């Protein structure tokens, strides 16, 4: 039951047309449903990734290197001990977190992060077991390190997604070395596919090609910060940052070349064209949708819960520049409608996820980083 003070604040939000920024809670009209947005916490520093434990509690990464468990009412655990040895510099740090599908049995967590070596920075993937008392990671093992390293601390990509067959997708960015996104002897600007133990699946598309990294699934990507498995087709969907314009959603098929930097729907930050200015070319896979101006995407998820039947099968995107959750209605692989949610909050949204309760959860990219819970008002 809502408190009188909360009911009062919600009534004010309704009276003022849902247009005022909300710090603790708010009710907002959307195209299909009225939503309640609740603040669970604002005590996180630059949260980056969120996933859910089987009991509905959240596990959240903070970019400076902390891992926390967050209860359903927003209480934060102390930082979990033995996190990955991440490099918190530039766009780097502790990034995504994903639980193993059999977490209830094996307690395994997967983390992507920026790591520093003697020759620069790279995207890495580590697996560790959450201790029985939930205070530490045990048996941490690095499953993947991107090669080559790069001196530029940006464009680490870094979403981690389990496929239905148990393999693991990890996204990387071009690290500021854009030409390497087209080079198969480099992990830069790629989607990587591994086994859950860090091995190479035998059906990866470049197995046996001496000039290609066998971990590569697809290539020609600029900076993929969102990835999710379509609930019906079981295909991987990704979203990546364009330069000045040209954010794009792709459905990376095995061996597909998605074009960067040969083709792009954006331009240089200076305003000049990228390469020959091509937006499409034979042999390279076009995105299914692009944005100019950019939304600057973070994480994505498909809505499959029960609380919002109006959003069933929709793609939800966290928008940094958009300062919104972008909701896309789909017809097969085509986007037929877009709506932007939470613009009243005014925060950069870093990741979005659907909880076991069917609610939508969003985290904000701020030093007083928030977790917001979104439920319908019926």
DSSP 171-201: E-B-TT-GGGGG-TT--TTEEEEE-TTS---
Q: Are the CB atoms for 180 and 173 separated by under 8 Å?
A: no
Q: CA 333 to CA 378: how far, in whole Å?
A: 31
| Known catalytic membership, residue 155 | yes
Instruction: Tell me how far apart the terminal alpha carbons of the chain are, to the nearest angstrom.
Output: 14
Instruction: Return the number of other C-beta atoms located less than 10 Å from residue 103's C-beta.
Output: 18
How confident is the model at residue 24, as a pLDDT? 56
- Beta strands 160-162 and 334-341 are unpaired
Q: Which residues of the chain have pLDDT under 50?
A: 1-23
34-376 CATH fold: Neuraminidase (2.120.10)
Give 285's DSSP letter. P
- Which residue among 100, 155, 258, 265 is the active-site one? 155
* Adjacent-strand bridge partners of 29: 34
Q: CA 360 to CA 317: how far, in whole Å?
A: 11
CB burial class (10 A; 0-12, 13-18, 19+) of residue 73?
Answer: exposed
Sequence spans of domains, the chain: 1-30, 34-376
User: Please, what sign has the CA dihedral across residues 62, 66, 67, 70?
Assistant: negative
User: Please, what sign has the CA dihedral across residues 148, 154, 155, 159?
Assistant: positive
How confident is the model at residue 120, as a pLDDT? 96
User: Please, what sign has the CA dihedral across residues 145, 196, 167, 226?
Assistant: negative
Which stretch of DSSP H or E encloses residue 105? helix 103-106
Q: Distances from the Cα of 103 to the Cαs of 15, 31, 99, 278, in angstroms?
A: 45, 37, 6, 45
Per the structure block, which two tokens stand in for 68? 């926390």
How confident is the model at residue 192, as a pLDDT? 98
Instruction: Return the number of other C-beta atoms located less than 10 Å from residue 157's C-beta.
Output: 32
* Adjacent-strand bridge partners of 371: 41, 363
How confident is the model at residue 64, as a pLDDT? 98
Which stretch of DSSP H or E encloses residue 106? helix 103-106
How confident is the model at residue 8, as a pLDDT? 40
Q: Are the CB atoms for 241 and 225 separated by under 8 Å?
A: yes
């Amino acid at each position: 039951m809502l408190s009188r003070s909360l009911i009062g604040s919600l009534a004010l939000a309704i009276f003022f047309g849902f247009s005022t920024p909300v710090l603790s809670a708010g009710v907002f009209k959307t195209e299909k449903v009225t939503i309640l947005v609740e603040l669970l916490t604002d005590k996180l520093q630059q949260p980056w990734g969120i996933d859910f434990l089987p009991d509905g509690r959240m596990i959240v990464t903070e970019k400076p290197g902390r891992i926390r468990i967050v209860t359903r009412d927003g209480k934060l655990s102390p930082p979990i001990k033995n996190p990955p040895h991440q490099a918190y510099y530039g766009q780097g740090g502790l990034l995504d977190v994903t639980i193993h599908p059999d977490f209830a049995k094996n307690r395994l967590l997967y983390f992507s992060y920026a790591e520093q070596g003697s020759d620069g920075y790279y995207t890495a993937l580590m697996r560790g077991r959450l201790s029985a008392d939930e205070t530490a990671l045990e048996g941490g093992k690095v499953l993947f390190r991107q090669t080559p390293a790069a001196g530029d601390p940006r464009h680490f990509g870094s979403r981690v997604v389990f496929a239905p067959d148990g393999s693991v997708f990890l996204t990387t960015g071009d690290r500021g070395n854009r030409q390497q996104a087209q080079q198969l002897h480099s992990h830069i600007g790629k989607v990587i596919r591994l086994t859950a133990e860090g091995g190479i699946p035998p059906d990866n598309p470049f197995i046996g090609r001496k000039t290609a990294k066998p971990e590569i699934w697809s290539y020609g990507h600029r900076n993929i910060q969102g990835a999710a498995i379509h609930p019906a087709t079981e295909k991987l969907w990704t979203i990546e940052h364009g330069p000045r314009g040209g954010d794009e959603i792709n459905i990376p098929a095995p061996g597909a070349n998605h074009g960067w930097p040969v083709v792009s729907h954006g331009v240089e930050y200076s305003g000049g064209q990228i390469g020959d200015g091509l937006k499409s070319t034979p042999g390279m896979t076009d995105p299914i949708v692009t944005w100019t101006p950019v939304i600057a995407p973070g994480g994505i998820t498909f809505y499959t819960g029960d609380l919002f039947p109006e959003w069933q099968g929709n793609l939800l995107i966290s928008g940094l520049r958009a300062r919104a959750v972008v909701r896309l209605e789909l017809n097969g692989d085509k986007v037929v409608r877009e709506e932007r949610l939470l613009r009243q909050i005014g925060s950069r949204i870093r990741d979005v996820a659907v909880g076991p309760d069917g609610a939508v959860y969003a985290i904000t990219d701020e030093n007083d980083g928030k977790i917001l819970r979104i439920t319908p008002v019926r």
